[in-house]
Amino acid sequence: MRKIFGILLIIFSLFIALGGLLTLEEDFKASLFGILVISLPLYMIGHIVRTNMWQAKQKGLRWLWAYIYVVGIIPALFLSYEGYENLKEQTFSNNHFLLFESTATDYTGGLSIGFILLLLLLFIFPFYETTRKIKSMIAIAAVVVTGVYAGYQYMMWADYRGIHEVDGLVTHYWNGEEQIVPYEEIAQIAVQPYVKYARSNRPSDKTYFAWRLIFMTKNEEQITYRLWLNDISLSKGNRIKQLAHSKNIPFHVIPMTEKQREEFDFQLELKKLDWQPYYLFFEVE
């Protein structure tokens, strides 16, 4: 019974910590108080209750690190990635970008997630059953990889592509190279609706409706952006449409097939979106 009560205390403490993490941006001081003053002591008491004081002296640091790892390190790594992406998009969107993507180099797009997963593996070094020397080497590796990851994020700040309302289609690479397609070189802009169907062999896969914004240059080169069925993408699409009209660039929507139209209507209803502006943009009746 004592063991069960201790486990329940640990679970309860983690729920308090989760609540603190979810409200961190809204009330930082209250969230920090809940995590450090309420959740953490309850967590340690739970371990003591389910075991004893002798084990607490032997394993207390490991229990503490487990808490820091779950409540601190994991959220911090993923929030650092999300916060970096949001900051980058907000910064460049404020610089007259109508549409912005944070990476222009295909093969570097997923490296940030790779760094995060590697750091998650390295930061569990206290739980590895190995010698102290090897644990020290893993800890040093974690510090080094953290520094490399920070340097990588700094370098990738200059890697992006987007639609600038004045300059045209801008692609800027991390190594400083830049390509600009001015609006004078764009022959037409097309909206291409499509449906991504879920794979039967992947239970987590989902069917969704999306659309491509295709810029065809006078040299018959295609530059494509992918957008989703939501109000943010619709707003971006309408801004591009207005820009096309102001620049006298032909703008047209490729008609949906019958199956695409069925999925389109289904997704609008599922997401509880106002159908009128979407019907207007995609030119359906």
Counting as low any pLDDT under 50, the low residues of the chain are: none
Give the pLDDT score at 264.
96
Give residues with Cβ within 8 angstroms of 30, minimum separation 6: 20, 23
257-262 long-range contacts, CB within 8 A, separation 24+ = 259/195, 260/193, 260/194, 260/195, 260/209
- Could you list the beta-strand ranges (E) of 31-147: 97-101
Helix then strand then coil, in percent of the chain rounded to 5, is 60, 20, 25
**What DSSP designation does 93 have?**
H
Give the pLDDT score at 106.
65
Give the Cβ contact number of residue 267 at 10 Å: 19
User: In the sheet where 97-101 sits, what is the strand order?
Assistant: 97-101, 160-164, 168-172, 178-181
d(CA 266, CA 262): 6
| Beta-bridge partner residues of 227 | 211
What SS3 class is residue 170?
Answer: strand
Give the pLDDT score at 231.
96
d(CA 227, CA 19): 32
Q: What is the pLDDT of residues 133-188, one digit of tens each?
A: 888 888 899 899 999 999 988 888 888 999 998 999 999 988 889 999 999 999 99
- Positive/negative CA dihedral, 206, 207, 209, 210: positive
**Nearest in space to 95 (alpha carbons), one of 153, 166, 159:** 166
Give the pLDDT score at 109.
59
One-letter amino acid at 146 equals T
